[in-house]
Structure 1
Amino acid sequence: MTPEDIVAHYDLEPIPREGGLFRRTWAGPERADGRPEGTAIVALLTTDDYSALHRLPSDEIWHFYLGDPLRLLLLDPDGTTRSPVLGPDIRHGQHLQLTVPTGTWVGARVAAAGAWTLFGCTMAPGFTYEGYEHGNAAHLTARYPAEAARITELCRP
């Protein structure tokens, strides 16, 4: 299977601002506040793109499906940082599923020596563009200086 096969199979489209390609595969019923009860997407990243640092108003669960491992950068509200890897090698610390807590900045890139990753994200309540907050490199490097290089590579204007 190639990235082109996946794009054709799921009819993937660009993710606005964040990067990568995606398709929403499920949205739950609408709540009183206009958000869906939950949402799920499939997404594809290749080595020539990345998921820009962003944060959301609900927990976001990331799921590994196919391809190469995906290296995430998590910038926690308490000032700590983590770099978990989504991938199939759970015996060596990779995650098939990982929850990014509310308010945590997250960005991702296909791991070194990889070519592409097919993954998914699930949220409840569901994703809306109004809840998406795009990362600013200057603000984030000031808050998390030890991760300045990775922050810079995972931010876009």
Structure 2
Amino acid sequence: MRQDGREQARDAREAEALAAHFGLEPLPREGGRFRRLWAGPQRSDGRPEGSAIVMLLTAARDDYCALHRLPDDEIWHHYLGDPLELLLLAPDGTARTPVLGPDVLGAGHHVQLTVAAGTWMGARVATGGAWSLFGCTMAPGYTDAGYEHGDAEALALRYPAHAGAIRRLGR
């Protein structure tokens, strides 16, 4: 269902209000806006014991979480707004497209989803949605050294059945 101009303006204002409330900043390369809300004590290897971020994506064409992978499991949590469509590309060559969102019983959404270490992941607001506020938690915590940005063309060759979705989530 298409929104009229007033609904779109209201959704945009609400997304901006949430970004201001949480002090969200642009997330380079990956996309979206985020803020780290917690990092646990530093371990002997320099990583925090755990970390948690809050993140906002909108339905704007260039506002998505680009394909990337991490060396440890990451737990995604849906907080507010519209569903978020994820693309998960596993090391064994399989792929799945779970939806993080509020409609657990009717549409089978997940309010929480664990992405296994080494899985390529990307996400965008579901078609017809305006914005999604969600969080990601890791233990041990996130560090930039563990982030690996995806090469869309190489991933499209490895997972040809999902080439279109992969290219839409590449930067």
TM > 0.5 between the two? yes
Match of 2:147 in 1: 132
* Whole-angstrom CA distance in 2 between matches of 1:4 and 1:102: 32
Pick one of 112, 117, 121 that aligns with 2:136: 121
Pick one of 75, 91, 106 that aligns with 1:61: 75
Name the Cα RMSD after superposition: 0.7
Correspondence 1:1-157 to 2 at 5 A: 2-48=14-60, 49-91=63-105, 92-156=107-171
Percentage of pairs with the same residue: 69
Deviates more, 1:1-10 or 1:43-52: 1-10
Name structure 2 gaps, 5 residues minimum. 1-12
In the alignment, residue 22 of structure 1 is paired with which amino acid? F
TM-score, normalising length from structure 1?
Answer: 0.98
Name structure 1 gaps, 5 residues minimum. none
**Structure whose residues are more often helix by fraction:** 2
Q: Kindly report structure 1 stretches of 4+ aligned residues shifted beyond 2 Å.
A: none
TM-score, normalising length from structure 2?
Answer: 0.90
Cα distance, 1:138 vs structure 2: 1.4
* Whole-angstrom CA distance in 2 between matches of 1:97 and 1:105: 18
Structure with larger Rg: 2
Cα distance, 1:16 vs structure 2: 1.5
